[in-house]
Amino acid sequence: MNATDQVARSEELYRIYRAHLDTCPRRHIGILADCAEGARMLRAVHASRLAASRGR
Ligand SMILES: [Zn+2]
């Protein structure tokens, strides 16, 4: 996967995460966050952005 694909992938993951925030009634921010699915998705966004910034 090249860097452009990585960026597109991270943007897609972020769109999916934002769509989840719009539909999920749980908390996602701060110490009261209680949505394991949302936390998992956010970790995936961060990991893909890190991979994209490294260019691989
Ligand atoms: Zn959620």
Query: Who's near 26: CB < 8 A, 6+ residues apart?
Result: 33, 34, 35, 38
Distance from the alpha carbon of residue 10 to the mean position of ligand 1, in angstroms:
18
Question: What is the count of structural domains for the chain?
Answer: 1
**The pLDDT value given to residue 56:** 57
Could you tell me if 32 and 11 are in contact, meaning their C-beta atoms sit under 8 angstroms apart?
A: no
**Helices assigned H by DSSP within 1-56:** 3-23, 36-54
> pTM of the predicted model, to two decimals?
0.84
pLDDT digits (tens, 9 = 90+) for 7-49: 999 999 999 999 999 999 999 999 999 999 999 999 999 999 9
Q: How far is the CA of 6 from the centre of ligand 1 (A)?
A: 24
The amino acid sitting at 14 is: Y
Report CA(13)–ligand 1 centroid distance (Å): 14
Range of the domain at 30: 3-54
User: How many A from CA of 36 to the centre of ligand 1?
Assistant: 7
Residue 36 and residue 29: Cα distance in Å, rounded? 12
Distance of CA 42 to the CA centre of its chain: 4
CA of 12 to the centre of ligand 1 (A): 17
